[in-house]
Amino acid sequence: FNPSPPSVLLLLSLLGLAAAGKLLVVPVEGSHWLSMRELLDMLQQRGHEVVVVAPEVSWHIKPSKSFVMKMYPVPFTQEEMDEVFKGSVEVFFEEGPFLERVIRQYHQAKKSSALFLATCTHLIHNKELMKYLEETKFDAVLTDPFLPCGQIVAEHLSLPSIYFLQQIPCGLEYQATQCPNPPSYVPRAFTDLTDHMTFLQRVKNMIYHIPNFFLCDVVYQPYAELASEFLKREVTVPDLLRQASIWLMKLDFVLQFPKPLMPNMVLISGVNCAYKKLDQ
């Protein structure tokens, strides 16, 4: 692999090549953070200043020499967080009828979203931390829009935002960017379909897409209410997401099926791969 992934070059172009830039990072816990952390290491090596805001209770987000970490308190313990994460992983691997799987995911989504929403609420209402962010002259915000807390912060600070993600549940990235996402062509999760479908398979794909609206409403509607209250204007989650300057998509057409993309969506496959030489 190239030691300078496209994601790094794109970020550098946004931060400025003539002088080191200052990047504010609002990450998402779990696997979302692991590939982002490697990117931050590279940015620090190139002379950029990176500031990460993270809750005091976390799973993978830990201090590093590559960035400055600003932590804030949250109203849950490490044990409570571990229990929620364990349940989220288990529900994805449980088998059974489609309706039962949807119901299980609905209940688990309520638990997980309540914890993450509390994390976001305590970030944006932490007056001391927000004052520091307001007074620090950042060039951009790097965030994973899987949860839109980073975009709320970016909007509050009037900063350009860079998204680093694989995908967002319910295809919100396509709704936000008005990117085509036809059920007759793009397979939905849990269908085990390909991008070559018969008519009946397309009908099945459409049916599997319907529950997404309910699941997404549970997870994302509270963020719309939180953002509207904090930014003092009525906003929806798609309103927040469409403000992104660039979408760095951790996708390729080897593991994922072909799908439409918008001009500011850039595929950066490979950032999650180990840098190892393969045997002949």
Chain segment 49-59, per-residue pLDDT in tens = 999 999 999 88
Chain segment 216-250, per-residue pLDDT in tens = 787 889 999 999 999 999 999 999 999 999 999 88
3-state DSSP assignment of residue 143? strand
Burial 114-151 (b: 16+ CB within 10 A, else e): ebbbebbbbbbebeebbeebeeeebbbbbbbbbbbbbb
What is the pLDDT, as a whole number, of residue 132? 97
Name the pTM for this structure.
Answer: 0.82
What is the pLDDT, as a whole number, of residue 218? 77
Q: Taking residues 184-201, report their average pLDDT.
A: 82
Ranges 81-95, 111-125, 192-206: which has the least confidence: 81-95
Chain segment 26-44, per-residue pLDDT in tens = 999 888 898 898 889 888 8
Chain segment 113-143, per-residue pLDDT in tens = 888 999 999 999 999 999 999 999 999 999 9
What is the pLDDT, as a whole number, of residue 192? 80
Tokens 């088998």 belong to 95
Cβ-contact 48, 22 below 8 angstroms: yes
What is the pLDDT, as a whole number, of residue 111? 80
Q: Taking residues 255-265, report their average pLDDT.
A: 82
What is the pLDDT, as a whole number, of residue 25? 97
Q: Taking residues 251-274, report their average pLDDT.
A: 77
Query: Cα 211 to the chain's mean position, in Å?
Result: 21
Mean pLDDT of the chain: 84
Which residue type does 57 have?
V
For residues 173 and 212, give the distance between their C-alpha atoms in angstroms, rounded to a whole number. 14
What is the pLDDT, as a whole number, of residue 106? 72
Question: Which pLDDT band, with edges at 50, 70 and 90, does 1 fall under?
Answer: very low
The length of the chain is: 280
